[in-house]
Amino acid sequence: MVNTAKQRKSHRNQTVLNVCDIPSDREITFDIVFNAEQRAETRNVLSLLELKNYRFSGKLTPRGKNDWDMTGKLGATATQECVVTLETVKTRIDDLVNRTFYSHWEEPDEGSVSEMDENVESEPLLNTIDLGLIAREALALSLPDYPRKENVKLEEAVFTEPGVSPMTDKDAKPFAGLADLKKKLEKGI
């Protein structure tokens, strides 16, 4: 009987893998618990107030002779500012991340018209696989674009110089009054 534990190679806390060092005949696992420096860098790049419990684990599985499938689980707790109140908003992220790396990747010709590949999880296989960058990208895509504290609504804001009539949300929508104008024209006013 083959001991699969010996066949699997673990890459604990290694964020960049050299493709030439990855055995092409078996799957490898990775488990990255990002340290304080890595969390701070990601926090700054993504404009977060705080980033805790940032972890990315999974496996790389051979796909044919030269390609790889990556499946992973991303976990993090991110703190952002509420877009309305500027108070802190915590978001827990627990997402699955999948990528397929192809050694014979072909970019479409510039200027050519072609259908978009629906599988945006496909990437060219380069000399390295940067698991840290993949985790950061997945985190950025998982965070709310406009974090908002629960039960907070954006009220109408009016800004103007003293002595000038303020522009309201209604004024900013010029076509909203067309129905009223149509009614007035129909009545002959």
Structure tokens, 10: 């673990």
Query: Alpha-carbon distance 34 to 75, whole Å?
Result: 11
* pTM for the structure as a whole: 0.70
Query: Alpha-carbon distance 62 to 101, whole Å?
Result: 10
Tell me the H-state helices in the chain.
4-7, 36-45, 131-142, 178-187
pLDDT at 3: 31
Domains in the chain: boundaries: 4-142
**Span 33-59, pLDDT tens digits:** 999 999 999 999 999 999 999 999 999
Average pLDDT for the chain? 82
Question: Could you give phi then psi for residue 42, rounded to 5 degrees?
Answer: -65, -40
